Every structure is written in structure tokens, then in C-alpha cells.
Amino acid sequence: MNPTLSRHAEARAQQRGIRESDIPVIVAAGTPVDDDSVFLLSRDVDREIQRRKREICALERLRGCRVVVEGQMVVTIYRPSSKTEKKILRGQHRHHHTETSSKSTDSIHRRHLK
């Protein structure tokens, strides 16, 4: 949500040390209290902090992974060696995918992105 602020809201936000970029955060994470307002409660903040901590842990765990995608299908995922990583970043390494004709192998390996 990227709402337009009235002059009154702009003035109050500035007086209260609330940035315009803070408003979508409050609206997305807060608890609706009636038809026209959202209240960012302590439990909302705690929930969002925990969600972001889990996301940070996942990012740290997945650092260095490469996902090769063809259309909407993940072809493979791996952690390249540092030598291969350098080649990838220089554009000198391409993953070559060959389709298999085995239906059973296809059904095991095909997992579509959602």
C-alpha cells in the first residue's frame, strides 16, 4: 500500500518522527481495529521480528546457492565451487540442461515454482 498523505498527516508524521516509508510497514504488519485504521501492536512487532529472523537464518544457510530455472521450472540447485562461482559471475559458465525421456525420472525431478 502506498497511500497519499493529507497535509495534516504529513505535518503530524513529521512532528512525531514517522517517515512516510514507515506507513506501509505499519499497514502491512498491524492489526486492523476498525474500517479505517490499523494499530501496530507489540505482538505484531514481535511476530514480524521473528519472521524476519527466520528469513535471515535461511539467507545465511543458502548463501552461495545457485538455482537454474527454465521457464517456471527449477532444473537444478547446487552450491558451485569458488572457481565455478567466478566463472558464473564473469558469464563464462552456462548450465546445460538435457531433457530425459524417462517419465518416472521426470515425475521425480519436476517441481514447479509457485
Q: Write the CA distances from 73 to 67, 70, 79, 93, 106, integer angstroms.
A: 10, 5, 18, 20, 12
81-97: pLDDT as tens digits = 888 888 888 887 776 65
Residue 5 contacts residue 20 (beta carbons within 8 Å): yes
- Please write the tens of the pLDDT for every residue from 4-51: 899 999 999 999 999 999 999 999 999 999 999 999 999 999 999 999
pLDDT for 51-110, tens place per residue?
Answer: 999 999 999 999 999 999 999 999 999 999 888 888 888 887 776 655 543 343 344 344
The whole-angstrom separation of Cα 14 and Cα 43 is 26
Ramachandran angles phi, psi of 75, nearest 5°: -85, -45
Instruction: Show me where the domains of the chain are located.
Output: 7-61, 66-109
pTM: 0.65
